[in-house]
Amino acid sequence: EADIYQTPRYLVIGTGKKITLECSQTMGHDKMYWYQQDPGMELHLIHYSYGVNSTEKGDLSSESTVSRIRTEHFPLTLESARPSHTSQYLCASSELGGTKTQYFGPGTRLLVL
Amino acid sequence: ELKVEQNPLFLSMQEGKNYTIYCNYSTTSDRLYWYRQDPGKSLESLFVLLSNGAVKQEGRLMASLDTKARLSTLHITAAVHDLSATYFCAVDVSGTYKYIFGTGTRLKVLA
A51 has a pLDDT exceeding 80: yes
| Span B62-111, pLDDT tens digits | 999 999 999 999 999 999 999 999 999 999 888 888 899 999 999 999 98
pLDDT of residue B95: 81
Are A9 and A106 contacting, i.e. CB atoms less than 8 angstroms apart? yes
My answer on whether omega of the bond before B8 falls inside 30° of 0, hence cis, is: yes
Distance (Å, whole) CA A91 – CA A78:
15
pLDDT of residue A1: 55
- The CA distance from A40 to the nearest CA of chain B, in Å, is 7
| Residues of chain B positioned with their CB less than 8 A from the CB of A58 | 98
Distance (Å, whole) CA A30 – CA B70:
28
User: Chain A window 47-86: which residues touch B at a Cβ cutoff of 8 Å?
Assistant: 48, 50, 56, 58
- For an interface test with A, the pick among B1, B35, B99, B103 (most A C-beta atoms closer than 10 Å) comes out as B99
User: At residue A68, what are phi and psi to the nearest 5 degrees?
Assistant: -140, 80
